Homo-oligomer: A and B are copies of this chain.
Amino acid sequence: MVKKELRIQELKNARGGKGTLIMKHILEQDELAGHGRLYAEAIFNPGVTLGYHQHVGDFEPYYVIEGEGIFIDAEGNRIPIKAGDLCNINPGEFHGVENTGDGVLRMIALILYEEKK
């Protein structure tokens, strides 16, 4: 089955960040069969940021598919990221993302539980 219209969510000041983060939901939580809570494409227009926040009880591989930005890791390091890079957030860790460039930054966000629910 091919789904042509994904649910689009506009998150203003996501986790205390700047601007409006656009999320296209690839799978909804109830479609993840208890494995996780989010599978979405995150679209950061120029200037948009995702505030620094903690993950508890889950982990999140965050994969850059287009553009450039800054990933703020668990130690607060500001790391330049670009298409093809993987940001790994382990359970208990904090992270944030910023689009500091002129183009769009697109990432695939997958959040899986430490334990299946």
Contacts and interface: CB of A to CB of B under 8 A. Distances in A.
B33 A3 contact: no
How many protomers of this protein does the assembly include? 2
Contact of A26 (B4, B24, B86): B86
A88 B1 contact: yes
Interface residues on chain A, size class: 35 or more
B2 A116 contact: no
A2 to B, nearest CB: 5
A6 B108 CA distance: 15
A61 B39 contact: yes
A79 interface: yes
Interface in A17-32: 24, 26-27, 31-32
